[in-house]
Amino acid sequence: MASLNVALIQARSRGADPELALRDGERLCREAAAAGADVVLFPELWQIGYTSWRADPEQRAAWLAHATTLDGPFVSHFRDLARELGVAIVITYLEAWPGAPRNTATLIDRHGEPVLT
């Protein structure tokens, strides 16, 4: 009988700092892979946590600037990492989308290819 080991990341994203989320996420993926995980699953909106904007237009613009795309550097980093470690990763992020950004999860296979968003 085959088994599937899923690592559920039980950590809090540290706010609106995608670079910090990227570094912390990489460390957690490496730890999970070393522990035998086949799939690493991040909490919702890992890239920016649940930060939001105030009514101020400048703060809203700064929040919107964090939105990324499937081929942007944040998701691409985890695609490369999945390929390197040979594990699937479900990464979560604020995705740039027509009209307004959306709360997105992308399943990346162990070869680094996105298979479901």
Q: What is the pLDDT of residues 93-102, one digit of tens each?
A: 999 999 889 9
Model confidence over 21-37: pLDDT tens digits?
999 999 999 999 999 99
Nearest to 49 by CA among 9, 87, 6, 77: 9
pLDDT at 35: 98
Binning pLDDT at 50, 70 and 90, where does residue 46 land? very high
Taken in order of first residue, the domains within the chain and their CATH numbers are 6-116 (3.60.110.10)
Residue pLDDT, tens place only, 62-91: 888 889 999 999 999 999 999 999 999 999
Output DSSP code: residue 55. S
- Say whether pLDDT at 20 is over 80: yes
- State pTM to two decimals: 0.91
Kindly write down the DSSP assignment for every residue of 64-90, as one continuous string. HTT-B-TTSHHHHHHHHHHHHHT-EEE
**How does pLDDT run across 50-69, given as a tens digit for each residue?**
776 667 788 778 888 889 99
Distance separating alpha carbons of residues 13 and 42, to the nearest angstrom: 10
Please provide residue 28's backbone torsions phi and psi, each rounded to the nearest 5 degrees.
-65, -40
